[in-house]
């Protein structure tokens, strides 16, 4: 800068700015991104349009860390990105062959624990579990099928609950509680006995307060909670994942949630 000299005050300001920048960034793979205080790694990644595979996370709902697909590597630790706070200077491994292989195995386990018969399931083409399997290059189940017998609840005139397809992501639980303000669903039992229950005197959907218009009715990423008699109406080629990858869909969900949040 000819004609000007850098004085001490200017140097101090520059140093403070640099420190501020470095203290609010993390590095995911090769990309350095900003984060805001209180954000998780997932939040920061979504804001920077970096895709970390996930099933149980939904922008705008509190995270639960159930599905473990968003596992990332920090140093020699593996953490779930959706529930791990972003901290300045984190060096995070995300899109690596090793992690994607782990995610694929997790997806395979989700498949075999339920009855996910994509060829006949009405959610096919609109299913996040199926889409993530495609995204991760899952070509087979690998593990023996459990073929669980879980109760199907068709008691509600408009909503079907097929527990054999539930992956226990608890999105319906959180959506019902946080958005619908109803508390219709909960997860009961532990381990392999864990299952989705309905908060009603009979335990049946028909006796609950759920409505077709509730977010909990439509947020299910798989074919466990469905609006009755709507299956197969969208032609092949026009279903969600016929047109977009799950990565693109995740980004859309983030943009929509942010726009709604900004508007509120």
Partner 1 sequence: MESNQSSPPATRRIAIDPVSRVEGHGKITLLLDTENRIREARFHIVEFRGFEKFIQGRPYWEVPFLVQRLCGICPVSHQLAAAKAVDQLVGVDELSPAATKLRRLLHFGQILQSHALHFFHLSSPDFLFGFGSDPLQRNIMKVLEHYPEIALKGVKLRKYGQQIIQAITGKRIHGTGTVPGGMNKALSVTERDALLTEIHDILEWSQEALALNEQLHLTHPAHHDFGTLHSNYLSMTGTAGELEFYHGGLRARYADGTMIFDQLDYCGYQKILQEEVRSWSYMKFPYLSDLGIEHGWYRVGPLARINNCDCISTPLAEAARQRFKEFGHNGLVHNTLAYHWARMIELLHCTESIQRLLQDTEITHTELIVENSERRSEGIGVIEAPRGTLFHHYKINEEGLITKANLIVSTTSNNQAMNESIRVVADQYLEGKEITEALLNHLEVAVRAYDPCLSCATHALGKMPLQVELQDASGQIIDRLVKGTSGEIHR
In the complex, the residues that contact partner 1 under the rule CB under 8 A are 119-120, 122, 152, 154-155, 160, 228-229, 231-238
21 versus 227: smaller Cβ distance to partner 1: 227
Least gap, CB of 161 to partner 1 (angstroms):
11
51 versus 134: smaller Cβ distance to partner 1: 134
Least gap, CB of 193 to partner 1 (angstroms):
22
Rounded to 5, what percent of the chain is helix, strand, coil?
35, 15, 50
Residues 6+ apart with CB under 8 A from 81: 40, 41, 42, 45, 52, 54, 70, 71, 72, 92, 94
Least gap, CB of 206 to partner 1 (angstroms):
9
Least gap, CB of 205 to partner 1 (angstroms):
10
142 versus 228: smaller Cβ distance to partner 1: 228
238 versus 252: smaller Cβ distance to partner 1: 238
62 versus 157: smaller Cβ distance to partner 1: 157
- What b/e string do you get for 151-169 counting C-beta neighbours within 10 Å, with b at 16 or more? eebebbeebbbbbbbbbbb
| Closest listed residue to residue 81, CA positions, set 215, 250, 263, 261 | 250
Separation CA 196–CA 247 (nearest Å): 27
Q: Which two tokens stand for residue 85?
A: 């706070």
Least gap, CB of 50 to partner 1 (angstroms):
33
């Amino acid at each position: 800068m000819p004609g000007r000299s850098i004085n001490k005050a200017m140097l101090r300001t520059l140093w403070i700015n640099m420190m501020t920048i470095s203290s609010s960034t993390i590095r995911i793979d090769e990309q350095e991104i900003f984060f805001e205080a209180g954000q998780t790694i997932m939040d920061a990644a979504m804001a920077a349009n970096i895709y970390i595979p996930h099933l149980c996370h939904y922008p705008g709902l509190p995270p639960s860390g159930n599905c473990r697909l968003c596992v990332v590597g920090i140093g020699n630790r593996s953490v779930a990105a959706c529930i791990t706070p972003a901290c300045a200077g984190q060096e995070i491994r995300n899109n690596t062959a090793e992690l994607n292989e782990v995610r694929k195995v997790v997806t395979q386990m989700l498949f075999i624990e339920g009855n996910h018969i994509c060829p006949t399931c009405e959610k096919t083409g609109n299913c996040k579990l199926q889409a993530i399997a495609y995204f991760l290059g899952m070509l087979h189940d690998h593990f023996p099928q459990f073929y669980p017998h879980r109760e199907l609840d068709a008691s509600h005139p408009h909503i079907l609950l097929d527990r054999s397809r539930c992956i226990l992501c608890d999105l319906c639980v959180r959506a019902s509680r946080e958005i619908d303000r109803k508390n219709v669903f909960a997860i009961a039992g532990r381990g392999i006995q864990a299952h989705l229950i309905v908060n009603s005197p009979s335990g049946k959907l028909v006796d609950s307060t759920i409505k077709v218009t509730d977010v909990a009715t439509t947020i299910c990423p798989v074919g466990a909670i469905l609006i009755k008699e709507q299956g197969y109406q969208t032609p092949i080629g026009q279903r969600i994942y016929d047109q977009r990858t799950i990565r693109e869909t995740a980004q859309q969900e983030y943009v929509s949630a942010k726009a709604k949040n900004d508007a509120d």
